[in-house]
Chain A
């Protein structure tokens, strides 16, 4: 080898391993328009499916007349619940232990619900045929308010009538789904009763939608000769989809191949199983031809995967000098017509019990009541780890509300309540063990970076100027310190439909010293092909550029639970490191044999094993790889491969400090983000460029949610925000620049110390923006106002406070 002259540092740099801002390998295809997304797939004889959807939010379906549609040339079939019921496929199980209609079975429960599925030769004919299907509806009273639903005589789920026991315990009312309780109710109530100060507020996190730029879709292709079903789709969890398809269709799992090709953004939208997948599979089985289904944007916003919709009633108790003594939260969760929330089975409200946040709160209690309404099902974690966004927003608002009550600075109130660095691992009152953190260091760094004192002085001056009539603009300083819980998760308490939430990686080293790795996850833009190769490069000393990454094909990838909840790096990233270490362990034995020394007499040095005390005698990983395939080594099998299934011992707990400085015009309600500082601590950093990109994108999604984006319904259950005209997605014009920063507190239980970062910016961003709006109006008496803070709602705040003269 010719690299004896290179220093270990130079050799490490040439690998482009962990810590390198390696350029993405995916981009060569994507920038040339050579991605391969679901709608790019075209198979011979492929048909197109499209849905007849309900215009009503609650109605009885009296009849469906297919005649005119079937008479249209090019229409192959029109499926209804009646056609699916002999197969038992007119209903399907949800991820939350409920069941959901695939096609309307006698009634509809939300606007946009699937009523019939048309199969035609092309998408134009399918769309024409949808218009020709005649459905006779009888309207029923509509419930869009979860509090009303719990009092109403109107029964939404007649199929559950008389069932007092649900998937998560007793049901208290016919529109009630579950009650989930955590913590100590009595102790918390006792503390609230005796506290110096109690702040109480209703914090609403409105309904919104992940809205990836690519909508959901699939191509089902049943090969009647081999009996094998191939299902391409926008699946964030391809293996789980394979198992679910097998369980509900009865097709043996080895005869199903699920392929997630390139995915145009997921953000939680593509975790669930949707009616379109089931109908496409049935249609392909019936016709013997491949069937494609791709939803349009309206269908996406109206029917697949809403997020949030949590009404969080909070009480926070503190001493008069600001030490928090207790936290109480009761959440009313609007789940829509079916409980299709995507959470680990034992957590019907996800990880909402992380709602004590970054604070050392000794006593707490949380209860969540799930409720049926006439809205779309979903409840996915939109760029979030299972309701962590709701929890973080709740506690970060409650801290601000408490600061008002105590007449304290909110930054100082946070500081005196943070869990201290020496308290980790920290047991929270609601049952979690936080792995590591150093909140005070991050907080001080953030406050210093933005010159917090200076900003407060500027704000005081601004208030004086406003009162003196010199300006109509207010200045808001939005603070957030969030703690996430990601990396679901330990099999002992995390599963989805009984599937443990481990993940996997298989690595094969080729004789010439390059490699292929396959994982149970699937990238939707996170750059897995780039970053996971970096982990392997650092672990086994082969250049990242010589390592191919593959995901998303269940026939080739090892079983895994997919990509969502920031779990890829904490779980599959750990599996990758562990598989690489198995390879390194075998490589050590091979190297020792080649160097004619004992296994323990060689040591690892970046990309080689060298004889201890004689570094000039070494075998590089490349040489070892070749030897693994061309030499008979006593006691060792040929080849150099490994697979790891990693069951994480704990979750990881990334955290961060975000500060938003916002200008607000009290007369128009317009806002302008003047500065946004984001400090993230995601433990060990694999690719800083990609981390920074994740933060930019996540904060922008937070900006959308906090400042205008919502799925809104009128009292008839009509969706008022079903196109991108009404559903706010920020453009380059209103999106600010962000300053990113970091501290590094590795996870003590993760093989490489990494924690995951993709969702942190959304979790921390929403309260930072919302708190900035609240902070601007705090001196004028505002305590709490609901998101989204669009211009109209901000104008209403100012108007309500008498600021319009």
Chain B
């Protein structure tokens, strides 16, 4: 099958490559770019393990063609680590509050939570539960994920306040 040239920004870096028109973004990220944080759990948009951030929106990359995001700005969980290599606030809070077990849903979960907190910096428990409902977890029962996201919101708001 003939291939097309794609160019996009992933975690702040310009990347390019050749892809079939039918190549899914998740496969382009994982196979071509070796960015294996986003996972494949269902291939039908239900589980959210493949969630990435595209131009400021949470998107399930298992049902998105890479051709659709030519030129876009893509962030994966790998892009949410601090510049000095330390854990970002969400990553740290997921660890602190035991918001993960097997770790398979975690990259999608954290990437979605990152966008949720941009959309709503002061979410209630209900807001978090509704806002995270596109991401499935089989291990944690969500209680500690909700806690981790809520604690992240507090910490990010405190950091913002201190900076102002």
Is B a genuine binding partner of A?
A: yes
Interface positions of A (Cβ within 8 A of B): 23-24, 26-35, 37, 39-40, 42, 122-124, 211-215, 262-265, 267, 294, 296-297, 524-527, 689-690, 692-693, 696-701, 723-725, 729, 731-733, 735, 737-738
CB 8 Å contact bits of B60-99 with A (1 = contact, 0 = none): 0000000000000000111011000001001110111010
Q: Are B42 and A33 in contact (CB under 8 A)?
A: no
Kindly name the residue among B34, B100, B138, B144 whose own CB sees the greatest number of chain A CB atoms within 10 A.
Answer: B138
Q: Are A724 and B44 in contact (CB under 8 A)?
A: yes
Residues of the A chain whose Cβ atoms lie less than 8 Å from the Cβ of B20: 124
B128 on the interface (CB 8 Å rule)? yes
Q: A42-B34, A724-B44 are in contact. Are A30 and B142 (CB under 8 A)?
A: no
Q: B144 touches which one: A30, A34, A524, A696 (CB < 8 A)?
A: A696
A729 to B140, CA, bound (A): 13
A37 to B143, CA, bound (A): 25
In the assembled complex, how far is the CB of residue A35 from the closest CB belonging to chain B, in whole angstroms? 5
Nearest A residue to B44 via CB reads A723
Residues of the B chain whose Cβ atoms lie less than 8 Å from the Cβ of A212: 102, 104, 138
A697 to B100, CA, bound (A): 10
A536 to B46, CA, bound (A): 41
Q: A213-B49, A732-B146 are in contact. Are A26 and B139 (CB under 8 A)?
A: no
Kindly name the residue among B43, B128, B145, B146 whose own CB sees the greatest number of chain A CB atoms within 10 A.
Answer: B43
In the assembled complex, how far is the CB of residue B40 from the closest CB belonging to chain A, in whole angstroms? 7
Q: Are A27 and B140 in contact (CB under 8 A)?
A: no
A124 to B20, CA, bound (A): 10
Kindly name the residue among B44, B98, B103, B110 whose own CB sees the greatest number of chain A CB atoms within 10 A.
Answer: B103
Q: Are B145 and A213 in contact (CB under 8 A)?
A: no
Q: Are B129 and A732 in contact (CB under 8 A)?
A: yes
CB 8 Å contact bits of B122-151 with A (1 = contact, 0 = none): 000000111011111111111111100000
Nearest A residue to B143 via CB reads A696
A124 to B145, CA, bound (A): 35
In the assembled complex, how far is the CB of residue B51 from the closest CB belonging to chain A, in whole angstroms? 11
A743 to B43, CA, bound (A): 43
Nearest A residue to B43 via CB reads A296
Q: Are A738 and B136 in contact (CB under 8 A)?
A: no
Interface residues of B in 15-34 (CB under 8 A from A): 20, 22-23, 27, 30-31, 34
A-B CB pair tally, cutoff 8 Å: 174
Q: Are A213 and B136 in contact (CB under 8 A)?
A: yes
Q: Are A526 and B101 in contact (CB under 8 A)?
A: yes
Query: Can you list 25 A-B pairs, Cβ within 8 angstroms, ordered by A?
Result: A30-B103, A31-B95, A32-B87, A39-B40, A42-B34, A124-B20, A212-B104, A213-B49, A264-B104, A294-B40, A524-B102, A689-B98, A692-B98, A696-B143, A699-B141, A723-B46, A724-B42, A724-B44, A731-B133, A732-B133, A732-B137, A732-B142, A733-B129, A733-B130, A733-B133
A40 to B135, CA, bound (A): 20
Q: Identify whether the interface residues of B are mostly helix, strand, loop, or mixed.
A: loop
Q: A213-B104, A263-B102, A693-B98 are in contact. Are A732 and B128 (CB under 8 A)?
A: yes
B36 on the interface (CB 8 Å rule)? yes
Q: A26 touches which one: B87, B103, B105, B107 (CB < 8 A)?
A: B103
Q: Are A28 and B44 in contact (CB under 8 A)?
A: no
A692 to B130, CA, bound (A): 23
Nearest A residue to B148 via CB reads A31
Q: Are B143 and A737 in contact (CB under 8 A)?
A: yes
In the assembled complex, how far is the CB of residue A29 from the closest CB belonging to chain B, in whole angstroms? 8
In the complex, given contacts A697-B101, A738-B143, what are 10 additional A-B residue pairs having Cβ atoms less than 8 angstroms apart? A30-B100, A30-B106, A31-B91, A33-B37, A42-B34, A122-B31, A211-B138, A697-B140, A723-B42, A724-B44
Q: Are A697 and B141 in contact (CB under 8 A)?
A: yes
Residues of the B chain whose Cβ atoms lie less than 8 Å from the Cβ of A123: 27
Q: Are A214 and B43 in contact (CB under 8 A)?
A: no
Kindly name the residue among A30, A294, A526 whose own CB sees the greatest number of chain B CB atoms within 10 A.
Answer: A30
Q: A213 touches which one: B36, B91, B138 (CB < 8 A)?
A: B138
Q: B76 touches which one: A33, A39, A725, A733 (CB < 8 A)?
A: A33
Q: B46 touches which one: A122, A725, A733 (CB < 8 A)?
A: A725
Q: Are A213 and B78 in contact (CB under 8 A)?
A: no
Q: Are A297 and B44 in contact (CB under 8 A)?
A: yes
Residues of the A chain whose Cβ atoms lie less than 8 Å from the Cβ of B98: 23-24, 689-690, 692-693
Q: B141 touches which one: A23, A37, A211, A700 (CB < 8 A)?
A: A700
A24 to B148, CA, bound (A): 14
Nearest A residue to B27 via CB reads A123
Nearest A residue to B40 via CB reads A39
A212 to B98, CA, bound (A): 19
B153 on the interface (CB 8 Å rule)? no
Nearest A residue to B142 via CB reads A732
Q: A700 touches which one: B22, B31, B35, B142 (CB < 8 A)?
A: B142
A692 to B81, CA, bound (A): 27
Q: Are A28 and B87 in contact (CB under 8 A)?
A: yes
B121 on the interface (CB 8 Å rule)? no
In the assembled complex, how far is the CB of residue B143 from the closest CB belonging to chain A, in whole angstroms? 5
Residues of the B chain whose Cβ atoms lie less than 8 Å from the Cβ of A26: 103
A733 to B132, CA, bound (A): 8
A804 to B117, CA, bound (A): 44
Nearest A residue to B34 via CB reads A42
In the assembled complex, how far is the CB of residue A761 from the closest CB belonging to chain B, in whole angstroms? 9
Q: Are A32 and B91 in contact (CB under 8 A)?
A: yes
A527 to B140, CA, bound (A): 12
A527 to B146, CA, bound (A): 20
Nearest A residue to B107 via CB reads A33
Nearest A residue to B38 via CB reads A33
Q: Are A23 and B103 in contact (CB under 8 A)?
A: no
Kindly name the residue among B38, B43, B49, B141 whose own CB sees the greatest number of chain A CB atoms within 10 A.
Answer: B141
In the assembled complex, how far is the CB of residue A388 from the closest CB belonging to chain B, in whole angstroms? 20
Q: Are A37 and B104 in contact (CB under 8 A)?
A: yes
In the assembled complex, how far is the CB of residue B158 from the closest CB belonging to chain A, in whole angstroms? 20
A696 to B100, CA, bound (A): 11
A346 to B87, CA, bound (A): 49
Q: A525-B139, A701-B138 are in contact. Are A213 and B44 (CB under 8 A)?
A: no
Q: Are A732 and B132 in contact (CB under 8 A)?
A: yes
Q: Are B102 and A693 in contact (CB under 8 A)?
A: no
Residues of the A chain whose Cβ atoms lie less than 8 Å from the Cβ of B140: 693, 696-697, 700
Q: A527 touches which one: B39, B101, B133 (CB < 8 A)?
A: B101
A16 to B79, CA, bound (A): 32
Q: Are A729 and B87 in contact (CB under 8 A)?
A: no
Q: A33 touches which one: B36, B40, B137 (CB < 8 A)?
A: B36
Nearest A residue to B101 via CB reads A525
A262 to B39, CA, bound (A): 13
Q: A27-B95, A724-B42 are in contact. Are A32 and B78 (CB under 8 A)?
A: yes
